[in-house]
Copies of this chain bind each other. A is one copy, B any other.
Amino acid sequence: MPKRSECPISNVLDHVGDKWSLLIIRDLMFFNKHAYSDLQSSDERMATNILSSRLEKLESDGLISKQVDPKDKRKKVYTLTPAGIDMLPILIEMIIWSSKHSPDLNIPEELVARAISDRAGLIQDLTANLAS
């Protein structure tokens, strides 16, 4: 996706403005998924060709990186780059929005509680965990 404007919001959407990319980032961030098959087995059931094309774009956009698993060379290990990790605050605000406006969803209550009462601490902890 070419740059559509100078707008910082439009810019983020140029990277992750679709139904799937942020779910990949979510899985890498919150669920410790690192393999292609892990990502494919999420509840939203992304088609394999779409997953493939999104991983390719996220990697070329610098949000994720891909390495061969040294223990099993069939496997690829997908991880977030610093730019990908920095999407975390956006995801947290989405969680907060849904907890307020879609109370019908099954959202871990303690996560929401901490996101609201200790946002900075939560971001700090999750970021530290991802860096390691």
Contact = CB atoms under 8 A, between A and B. Distances in A.
Interface of A: 1, 4-14, 17-19, 22-23, 26, 42-45, 83, 86-87, 89-102, 105-107
A23 B9 contact: yes
Nearest first, the 10 A-B pairs at minimum CB distance are A8-B98, A5-B43, A12-B94, A89-B93, A17-B19, A90-B93, A6-B106, A8-B95, A4-B44, A11-B98
A13 B22 contact: yes
A102 B8 contact: yes
Given A18-B18, A22-B17, A87 B97 contact: yes
Contact of A86 (B13, B26, B97): B97
Contacts of A18: 17-19
A10 B105 CA distance: 11
A97 to B, nearest CB: 6
B23 A94 contact: no
Contact of A5 (B10, B11, B13, B44): B44
27 contacts: A4-B44, A5-B42, A5-B43, A5-B44, A6-B105, A6-B106, A6-B107, A7-B23, A7-B26, A7-B105, A8-B94, A8-B97, A8-B105, A9-B26, A9-B95, A11-B94, A11-B98, A12-B94, A17-B18, A18-B18, A86-B100, A87-B97, A89-B93, A89-B96, A89-B97, A90-B93, A93-B93
